[in-house]
Structure 1
């Protein structure tokens, strides 16, 4: 599979692309996995994820860690960055934001496995951490700890 054919359908990478105004407007893109015969883990870390409280409009902040074992597809990272950034003006509770990110990726990629850890900074003195995965972790794949400590002034 040539590099040109793998990447020829991408519309955002290498282009000036504005931040989508909402997660629904965001376009997630994928490329064929050239190593689909190997089980491996891909990790994306978004330590400055933001959204809005749907009740007060105040900003909420999270450290997201997304791990997945790809099948046929890989997510294109610029489109993922723009998708995550689109939550900046989106009002939803922590649980909804975290699980919505995971479900959108699962729908796009049909990965062998995916997990997300949403480590939210406190609002009202309580951090809310949200964890989701598609099922049991695959055997024989290295899945490192997500590396985010329990809340003690995260950083």
Structure 2
């Protein structure tokens, strides 16, 4: 367990957060990452795309595991990595707030919410990552982020951010 990380968020494993492991490729997830994978990735492992993610009972010792290192992608090739966790670095020309309020898109392209590649902060994660002021402060900066890249049928290509540690650097 020492030195291993949640395959989705990159957070150091913490057994108190509930652990799941992919029986196929042996990467680990925290319980909240599993919930996000079920909702946004059809319950598929971000490392191998299997759906064999099993929970560990309290006191049960997880077997051998492996860490997951995401592929680094750019604006030129992100389209090829849907359904995988990636590391992306890019410039943020603008930040948008949703019409319903409290959801944010940190845009990597000067396009509409539906057309541009973006980070999405859903209302449940906004306070967790630092609130509206922090998200707004990302405009005009270069950021490096780790997260699940998906193509939403209405809103297009996006990376969903659920924890502050997913933002790897801001400059």
Q: Normalised by the size of structure 2, how large is the TM-score?
A: 0.23
Relative contact order: is structure 1 or structure 2 higher (C-alpha 8 Å, sep ≥ 6)?
1
Q: Normalised by the size of structure 1, how large is the TM-score?
A: 0.25
